Each structure stands twice: as C-alpha cells, then as structure tokens.
C-alpha cells in the first residue's frame, strides 16, 4: 500500500483507471462556476504529476464541460531525476535542486531538471539506479524521487 497522502478528485471516465498517470495543468476557464470545483481542481497542485490508486463507483456530471467524471483517489507520482551521488541513498530525505548546467544537448537534461519537481521541493529517494555520464564532470545518479509535502511527515 502506498504510504503517500491520498487525494480525492474527479477525472474523466476515460482517464479513471488504477495506475493511470496524469499531469494536472490547472483549471479550465469554466471550472470556477462548477459546484465540484473544490473537489475536482482545487485540491490538486498545478503542474504536478499524479497516479490513480483507486477508482470509486460514483460518476458525476461536469456541467460546464458536459463530461462524465469519476470519483478517484490519487497520490503524487514518483519522478525520475538526477541527484548528486552523495545524496543517492534509498530512503534518504533531500531538498531537490535542479543541476546548474547549460548543456542543452545533454542526454540527462530531463533528469537534471525534471518538469514535475521545483527547486526546494522536499523529496524522499525511493530508488537508486545507475551512475550518469555528465559532460561537466558532476558525480550524478539516476534516482526516483517522491515529493513529501511540508505538511506531511516522512514515515
């Protein structure tokens, strides 16, 4: 069982599948007029990645967009990243900082500056993988990070 904080939200019936990963890109222009706004959009963070862990039987109608929505439980998904080899210890807590690098054609760029993590995010190292070849000589490892919101204590 995932020990992360579960969030109740709504997803279109086509997306409402266990283990489905999605990016919350914020609310649509009509969302604020919907009676389900606080459940559907307000409790998710913009530009974060989520994974569906449970799909409930309840189906609701999104009136502004004329969509059938399913009640689901989600958690923030793990994010692949590159961190210093010294920080690459499974179970370790760290403050994430993207690598300061101008190598725009580097094969590790997406790991060094992952889209779904922000500078200063508190994270747990969930898994440690291989060492990375860095053109600038940094000692980096590919890891899987799980953001730990500041209101949530690590278990």
44-49 long-range contacts, CB within 8 A, separation 24+: 44/7, 44/9, 44/74, 47/23, 47/115, 47/116, 48/23, 48/24, 48/76, 48/116, 48/147, 49/21, 49/22, 49/23, 49/24, 49/76, 49/77, 49/79, 49/116
Supply the pLDDT for residue 155: 44
Spans of all domains in the chain: 7-76, 79-147
pLDDT at 154: 45
pLDDT tens-digit profile, the chain (155 residues) = 445 789 999 999 999 999 999 999 999 999 988 899 998 999 899 999 999 999 999 999 999 999 999 999 999 999 999 999 999 999 999 999 998 888 888 999 999 999 999 999 999 999 999 999 999 999 999 999 999 976 554 44
Question: Is 0.75 surpassed by the pTM of this model?
Answer: yes
pLDDT for 33: 87
d(C-alpha 8, C-alpha 43), whole Å: 8
3-state secondary structure of 33: helix
């Amino acid at each position: 069982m995932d020990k992360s904080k579960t969030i109740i939200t709504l997803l279109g019936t086509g997306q409402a599948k266990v283990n489905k990963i999605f990016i919350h890109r914020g609310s649509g222009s009509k969302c604020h007029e919907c009676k389900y706004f606080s459940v559907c959009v307000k409790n998710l963070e913009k530009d974060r990645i989520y994974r569906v862990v449970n799909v409930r039987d309840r189906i609701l109608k999104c009136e502004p967009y004329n969509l059938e929505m399913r009640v689901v439980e989600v958690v923030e998904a793990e994010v692949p990243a590159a961190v210093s080899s010294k920080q690459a210890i499974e179970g370790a807590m760290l403050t994430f900082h993207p690598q300061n690098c101008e190598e725009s054609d580097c094969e590790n760029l997406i790991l060094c500056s992952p889209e779904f993590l922000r500078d200063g995010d508190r994270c747990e190292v969930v898994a440690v993988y291989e060492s990375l070849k860095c053109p600038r000589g940094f000692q980096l490892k590919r890891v899987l990070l799980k953001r730990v919101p500041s209101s949530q204590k690590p278990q």
